Structure 1
Amino acid sequence: MVYASIDKIITEQELLKYRNVNTGYIDVDLSFFDKNQRTQEQNKIMHCLFREIAVWSCGYETPKDELEYKNYMKKQYSDKPFKTSEMTSKEATDFIAYIIDFCFQAGVPFRKKGVEMTDDIQRYLYLCLKHRVCAVTGVKGEVHHIDTIGAGRDRRHVDHSQHRLVCLSREMHIKAHTMGWEEFAALHHIDGIKLTAEQVKEIKYK
């Protein structure tokens, strides 16, 4: 026996609409969701990224262009054929990060905010730091220390792994200082991240 719940209250009269006239039972469709499987939101993000690459490369987008760049990115990502529909959530997250990394390296601009083009904001913020891309606007950026270092201290001798960092354009950097970080972060739905000592080296920040 299977017990099910519904997400809204319905009247008995409404419920009767689903009764099978032959059996007298209520007919329902039952499906199981694998929580480890790639989500619809992840699928949407992937296709948004493929469209961005198509527009950047061709100047326009068609379903054919989107499919072409989808297949291109899949071949670049792995030498073994795979279906994005069969990915786990973790595999999809890694693939999305790979596509974003490609876009940053190639200079592919996003027409939407970058934070809307990822399902892993922490990794996105790291890639922004690595490629010096503003986490808000997507233009060229610079590393911003959220946690104050202190006047007179030499940044070359500061352990940057002990401070929250974010990459911002000059304009956004000034706004963050003017508004204060908490208000700025709430407005743009981002925050800084702390990196490991190894990651600080990877982003080439001294």
Structure 2
Amino acid sequence: MSNVRFDGEITAISGATITVSLTGGRDVDTLRVAKLAAGRRPSVSIDVEDGRSISPEQRRKVWALLNDYADFTGYNPLEMEAWVKAYYMAETGSDYFSLSDCSMSKASEFLSYVIDFGFANDIPWQTKHLDSIPSDYPLMMQCLKHRMCVICGKHADIDHEPPIGNGRNRNEIDNRRYKFFPLCRVHHTIRHDLGIDAFIDHYHIKPVKLDEPTLISLRLNTCADFDRFDGLGAG
């Protein structure tokens, strides 16, 4: 999807109406906006900077992951930073920014992108850097999507909670009734040895419920399965 980016300041807010004045002496290129809108009413999004600069903790987390990516790919860390930034700016329309003095909100957004970049390109990071992931980041969902153990990062299978007994036909299971988390074989065994409550308490993780589109995307069920479970597939 094409877009054009303008920077500005909010000068007035009245109910659902927001007035923005552009900064930098730029005028709106109305012809370009009309072309991008392709005959539709142009839509906009507004990102409000919080006025605070990137924190040392945010900077540490970004560089911890970039260093891991550099070790894996063979680039040096500065080259890795440049590559990831280039993809981020191309995909989001962001202007160039520096990790030395960007805003705290920009740093948070870029950190989430760096994490997504690693998942999307199958680039691992050291287990000790899992704490680089912010608490509000949907780590469990990404680990489920990429079949990555939520505890150690190794290849994982998707575990049900409550567990499914041996011998059950998994094609006949309505997964809307279960919660899930991805565990490697080692942590799967530990889970059974400790019991689910002690396991969750020890590792500070929680299985998650999945909606129908996510269950389908993970190939745990199909639309036909849900129709059948709901009694809609009987002929």
Is TM more than 0.5 here? yes
Q: Write the distance in 2 (CA, Å) between the matches of 1:46 and 1:115.
A: 12
Counterpart in the other structure of 1:76: 87
How many residue pairs align between the two structures?
A: 167
User: Which whole-Å CA distance do the structure 1 matches of 2:145 and 2:119 have between them?
Assistant: 9
User: In the alignment, residue 44 of structure 1 is paired with which amino acid?
Assistant: R
Deviation digits for residues 60-107 of structure 1 (CA, Å, limit 9, x no counterpart): xxxxx2222122111112223232543454x54443333223323433
Contact 2:127 2:153 in 1 (8 A): no
Q: Distance in 1 between matches of 2:167 and 2:143?
A: 28
Aligned match of 1:198: 213
Residues 105-120 of structure 1 aligned to structure 2 (within 5 Å): 105-113=120-128, 115-120=130-135
| Greater fraction strand | 2
Alignment partners' CA distance in 1, 2:103 and 2:216: 32
1:140 and 1:175 map into 2 onto residues whose CA distance is 16
| 8 Å CA contact retained: 2:127, 2:152 | no
Q: Which residue number corresponds to residue 137 of structure 1? A: 152
Asked if 2 retains the 8 angstrom alpha-carbon contact of 1:77 and 1:95, the reply is: yes
Distance 1:57 1:162, change over 3 A: same
Q: TM-score, normalised by structure 1?
A: 0.67
Contact in 2 for aligned 1:135/1:166 (Cα 8 Å): yes
Structure 1: which 5+ residue stretches go unaligned? Answer: 1-33, 60-64
CA contact (8 A) 1:161 1:196 kept: yes
Q: 1:41 aligns with which of 48, 57, 70?
A: 57
SS in 2 for 1:165: strand
Q: Which runs of 5+ in 2 are unaligned?
A: 1-49, 222-235
SS of match in other structure, 2:159: strand
Aligned CA RMSD, in angstroms, stands at: 2.8
C-alpha distance in 1 between matches for 2:177 and 2:107: 30
Which structure has the highest helix share of the two? 1
Spell out, residue by residue over 1:15-54, the C-alpha distance to the aligned partner (whole angstroms, 9 max, x if none): xxxxxxxxxxxxxxxxxxx597654433321111101011
Equivalent residue, structure 2, for 1:67: 78
Three-state SS of the structure 1 residue aligned to 2:220 is coil
- CA 106–86 in structure 1, closer or farther in 2 if over 3 Å, else same: same
- 1:128 and 1:134 in contact (8 A); partners too: yes
Higher RCO (CA 8 Å, separation ≥ 6 residues):
1
Contact 1:113 1:138 in 2 (8 A): no
Offset of 1:122 from its aligned partner?
Answer: 5.3
Q: Which amino acid aligns with 1:56?
A: F
Between 155-164 and 74-83, the greater mean CA deviation after superposition: 155-164
Instruction: Find out whether 1:56 has 2:72 as its counterpart.
Output: yes
TM-score of the two chains, using structure 2 as the length reference? 0.60
Could you tell me how far apart the structure 1 residues matched to 2:140 and 2:96 are? 27
Q: 1:152 to 1:93 in 2, by over 3 A?
A: farther
Which amino acid counterpart does residue 177 of structure 1 have in structure 2?
H
